Amino acid sequence: MDDGKSISMPLIGDEFPSMTVKTTHGSKNLPEDYKGKWFVLFSHPGDFTPVCTTEFVGFQKRMDQFRELDTELIGLSIDQVFAHIKWTEWIHEKLGTKIEFPIIADDQGTVAKRLGMLHPGKGSNTVRAVFVVDDKGILRLILYYPQEIGRNMDEIVRIVKALRTSDEKGVATPANWPENDFLGDRVIIPPASDEDTAESRRGKEDCYDWWFCHKKLD
């Protein structure tokens, strides 16, 4: 049984572990409080640090894009809630951006240890982790960045859009979708799983071969 102390790493497809967390918006139960919604939980090394500040502004400026995808944002670091509050006040005052999403105050490191957010060579700071969780509480994607490299928020928006499109339409998305080098915004049809279907696809206009067919989204 997980005692909340050992460092572990969840796997894609796992249920997001149930936990109660303290945030700048009060106590929250994850993933229960977000049932029926997707959420992106992302950790940052520490408050009042330059790269993290640029990331928080970047996430906030894309808040409407995430909401259009019915997706909420949740930040996290091993700082006290007071530090989170003062830092977001600074961001609002100095940079003109009001942070609207909650930030978990994981000052005991409990959440970070459960989710494998701590790097053994970096002390108690959390890595730049990203967890995308769907509306059923299932972990769908994990990203890890080193502390020195800021994240690309547009890519995280793209990830959520691609996952939701795949779920809703039963398709796959190509590299850099919806701006693939030769398919553009088209999506990929699942490969044929039997000989008759494979044969029916040969020579079709929207198929490079029986295993590689594509289409416009409905």
Give the other-Cβ count within 10 Å of 205's Cβ: 5
What are the residue numbers of the active site? 52
By the 8 A CB rule, do 97 and 60 touch? yes
Rounded CA separation 41/76 (Å): 7
Name the pairing type of β-strands 26-30 and 19-23: antiparallel
* DSSP-assigned beta bridge partners for residue 24: none
